[in-house]
Structure 1
Amino acid sequence: MRSLLFILLISALALVQARTLSGSKEDYQENDYQESRETHLSKPHLHSSVWPCDVADYREAYPLLHKVEKQLPKIDSAETRNHIRDHVVTQLRQCISAGKMDRHCVGRSIGLVMSFINHQRRNQQSTDL
C-alpha cells in the first residue's frame, strides 16, 4: 500500500514538473523572440547600400545577397539589374516570418534567383543580337 502511494506521489510530482518545464520553455521562446527582434531593430546596418534594410539586416540573407552581388556586374542593362534586385528582395521578404528570416527558405531561393538571373541574361543576349 505504501509503495502504491509512493508511486502515485512520484508520478504526480513528475507531471507537475513536466508542466512547469514546458511552460518555462514557451516563456523562454517568447522572450527569445522579443530579444531577437529588439536586437535586430537596434543593430547597425551591416550591408551594402544596394539592398533595403528590411531584408539586408538579416544575416541569413547574406549568402543570397553575396551571390547576386557577384552576378550583377555581369549584367549590362541597368534596367535588368534593377529587375533582378526587385526579384531578390521579393524572394527574401517571403522568407521572413514572425520577425525572423528562415535560412532554409533563403537556401531554396538561391536556386530560384540564379535561374531567374540566367533567364534575364539569355533574354538580354537574345535582344542584343
Structure 2
Amino acid sequence: MSGYVLHMDELVVEVPEGFQDHSVQALEWRPDPDTRVTLTIGREPRKNDEGLEDAASRVMAALARRVASFKEDEPLPLEIDLPVVTRRARFRHEGELVYRHIAFVDLEDRLVIVSASSPTKRRDLADEVLMSALRSARVRER
C-alpha cells in the first residue's frame, strides 16, 4: 500500500492515497509544577476562496463564542518564510485566566493552525514556544 506516510513518535504507517490528515498534535510542557504550556498543531481544509485573514477571523470568532471574558490582543510581528497570520487572546476557561497565541499558516489547500497557551501571567512562555515552533517550521513534501 502506498499513498501517504504518516510519521508519529511511536509509529510510521502508510495509508491509501486519498486519505487526508485531520489530526491534531497536542504537546505539553511544565517549566515548573504550577505552570502548564501547551502547543497544539491542527489542520483543516481551506474553505473555498477564504483568505488567510478571513480564516483567522472565523476561528477567533468561534473561540470568542466558546469561552468567557474573551479579549483579543494586538498581534506580534513575525517574519518567517511561510504565509502566516497571528492572533493573540486572553480568556477565562475552567476558572483560569488563559493566554493563547495562534498562528494560521497558509499551505494553499489547507490551513495549519498552531497555537500556544499558558496562564496569562506567563504569556511570555506561550509567545516563546509559538515563535520558536514557527521559526523552525518546514513544509514537508506532499
* TM-score, normalised by the number of residues in structure 2: 0.30
Structure number with bigger Rg: 1
* TM-score, normalised by the number of residues in structure 1: 0.32
The structure with the largest helix share of the pair is 1
The structure with the largest strand share of the pair is 2
